Structure 1
Amino acid sequence: MANEAKFWNASIEELTKGYIYDSQLEVFTCLICGEYYRKGIIYPNGEVLYEAKLAMKHHVQEAHQSMFEYLMNMPKKYTGLSDLQKEILTYFKQGLTDKEIARNVDAGSTSTIRTHRFKLREKEKQARVFLAIMELLKQEEYTDELISIHKGATMVDERYAITNAEKEKVLATYFKQGVNGPLESFPSKEKRKIIILQQIITNFDTTKKYTELEVNEILKSTFDDFVTLRRYLIEYGFMNRSKDGSSYWVNR
């Protein structure tokens, strides 16, 4: 996910479309990969020319199949859905009847599918109420929002309950010359590690694959013990690497 903050701050409508529009910059940006199209420019697609908004719609469909597929493939920690629920929702999307779905699901029966349909609708109601509660909390009480959790987080727990104020304080403590300067030391406390790693990963291009040597060179400019930084970037899910260690990339 190239635009993590934008993705998590997007509205439900924007998430279903797969892109956002910045009215000041007049740019449509894909929430998945960061591809963008500027309003007023015509973009070619094969033999067809598209204005920016339509070009973005085609991009989402062609590059990412559909937002339904993308969202359904996100980990359970984000969707809250079991594998069985995802399977059944996919069949709902295909327009299958409960009887048809029952034939495709192990140990399924028409009544079982109806029960799942009811539970999923109840889950939708709960989600709407929860979103409304959080919006009211944000407007009236919640003055210091928590930082976004990166998509590759291996285990989301209290370590990620980090406010923006905490983040700024930690960065100022460990990057005494500013975030573009060297790291004074690598913290031992979990929350601080996450904050530091979240900052360090911004030095990498989310669309590029790196060799281990290239990763080391980038990390060296921040901290002498680049091996420790590289290890924790992988361990905490900020970065992925191939099985043979030949390539590294940002977990999007």
Structure 2
Amino acid sequence: MNVNGLFWNATIDEIKQGYVYNSEFEGYICLICGEKFEKGVIYPQDNTLYDAERAVKKHIELKHGSVFNYLINMNKKYTGLTDVQKELLRYFNEGLSDKEIVKKEGGKSTSTIRNHRFRLKEKEKQAKVFLAIMALLENKSNKDEKLIDIHKGATMVDERYAITNSERESVIKRYFKDEGNGKLISFPRKEKRKIIVLNHISKKFKNNKEYTEKEVNDILKKVDDDYVTLRRYLIEYGFLNRTNDCSSYWVKN
């Protein structure tokens, strides 16, 4: 299941809670890592037994800290927040008063902090209006011209990711045998095509699963003989992550 797609298609309330209910799976899915919790199953966590929904909440707390921390640490391209705004939001999340923040920060006045609060509230209002506008456009957009979701591990988000569904399908058919199901014919030079190809290859790896380097190589060998280059690009472009000693690889969320 595509965690990236689940995240970007989730409602604001679902993103706030950090998980969604999937009727097809009949359970809850963590929007951060994709771990599933089937309804009707009891899950032991932290020496306590939980039903599925309580288990996914506990999972987020234990594994990810909090939804707030995950969201606030996302790439600036996703949040639109400056480092200063992020730091202040962390203080606000802790419930600190303007005076307490001034003591921690130094060099700032309470009026400066108050102005930041005001600008952030204005940003919130603008975001609501923008979401409403985009929602009204949703059903009027040509399906083929809709832009694909950017994977959350993207190391640099720019115009290279302005990729439509039709463009993606065209590139996959061009660079892979058997309408995209076979081996790689050639590796593209253009950045946008490169991202489409790497994104297609990354779907061969399961979310919430760790792979050894040998397992990664075995999967990539089925795509192209130059599996070392593919592996390097998947890491470089933020599709895969790995430990420093290269003993473990996983899909980067």
Q: Which residue does 2:67 correspond to in 1?
A: 67
Is the contact made by 1:42 and 1:49 (CA closer than 8 Å) also made in structure 2?
yes
1:38-65: CA deviations, max 9, x gaps?
Answer: 2223333355432222222222222222
Identify if the C-alpha distance between structure 1 residues 42 and 246 changes in structure 2 by more than 3 Å, giving closer, same or farther: closer
Match of 1:81 in 2: 81
Residues 225 and 32 (structure 1 numbering): CA distance in 2 closer, same or farther, change over 3 Å? same
What does residue 249 of structure 2 align with?
248
What is the CA–CA distance in structure 1 between the aligned matches of 2:168 and 2:239, rounded to whole Å? 17
Q: Deviations over 1:205-249 (max 9, x none)?
A: 333444444332221111122233223222222223444545433
Q: Deviations over 1:186-220 (max 9, x none)?
A: 12222211111001111223334444443322211
TM-score (norm 1): 0.91
1 CA distance for matches of 2:246 and 2:44?
38
3-state SS, counterpart of residue 153 of structure 2 = coil
**Structure 1 contact 210–248 (Cα < 8 Å) conserved:** yes
Q: Which runs of 5+ in 2 are unaligned?
A: none
Provide the rounded CA distance (Å) in 2 between the counterparts of 1:226 and 1:203. Answer: 13
The answer for the alignment partner of 1:205 in structure 2 is 206
Is 1:113 the counterpart of 2:116 in the alignment? Answer: no
- Structure 1 unpaired stretches of 5+: none
TM-score for both structures, normalised by structure 2: 0.90
Task: Report the CA distance shift for 1:56/1:209 in structure 2 as closer, same or farther (over 3 A).
Answer: closer
Closer/same/farther in 2, CA of residues 13 and 228 from structure 1, 3 Å limit = same
- Are the equivalent residues in 1 in contact too, given 2:34–2:207 (CA < 8 A)? no
| Deviation larger for 112-121 or 30-39 | 30-39
CA distance in 1, matches of 2:142, 2:134: 9
Match of 1:188, as an amino acid? R
Q: Could you tell me which amino acid in structure 2 is paired with residue 146 of structure 1?
A: L
The CA distance in 2 between the partners of 1:57 and 1:216, in whole Å, is 35
Task: Report the AA paired with residue 44 of structure 2.
Answer: P
C-alpha separation between the residues in 2 aligned to 1:106 and 1:241?
38
Q: Aligned partners of 1:98, 1:133: CA distance in 2, in Å?
A: 34
Specify the alignment match of 2:167 in structure 1.
166
Instruction: Please show how residues 216-227 of structure 1 align to structure 2 within 5 Å.
Output: 216-227=217-228
Q: Secondary structure at the match of 2:180?
A: coil
Q: Which amino acid aligns with 1:229?
A: L
The residue type equivalent to 1:114 in the other structure is R
Match of 2:195 in 1: 194
Q: Map Cα deviations across residues 21-78 of structure 1 (whole Å, 9 max, x no partner).
A: 0123321111112121122233333554322222222222222221111111112121
Q: Secondary structure at the match of 2:172?
A: helix
**Is structure 2 residue 142 aligned with structure 1 residue 151?**
no
Bigger mean CA offset, 171-180 vs 147-156: 171-180
TM-superposition CA deviations, 1:109-152 (whole Å, max 9, x none) = 10000000001001111111111111111122353321111122
The code of the aligned residue for 1:92 comes to F
Instruction: Describe the shift of the 1:15–1:113 C-alpha distance in structure 2 as closer, same or farther (beyond 3 A).
Output: same
Equivalent pair of 1:60/1:66 in contact (CA under 8 Å): yes
Question: Which moves more between the two structures, 114-123 or 139-148?
Answer: 139-148
Tell me the distance in 2 between the aligned counterparts of 1:17 and 1:239: 25
Which residue pairs with 1:56 in the alignment? 56
Number of residue-to-residue matches in the alignment: 251
In 2, the alpha carbon distance for the partners of 1:240 and 1:10 equals 24
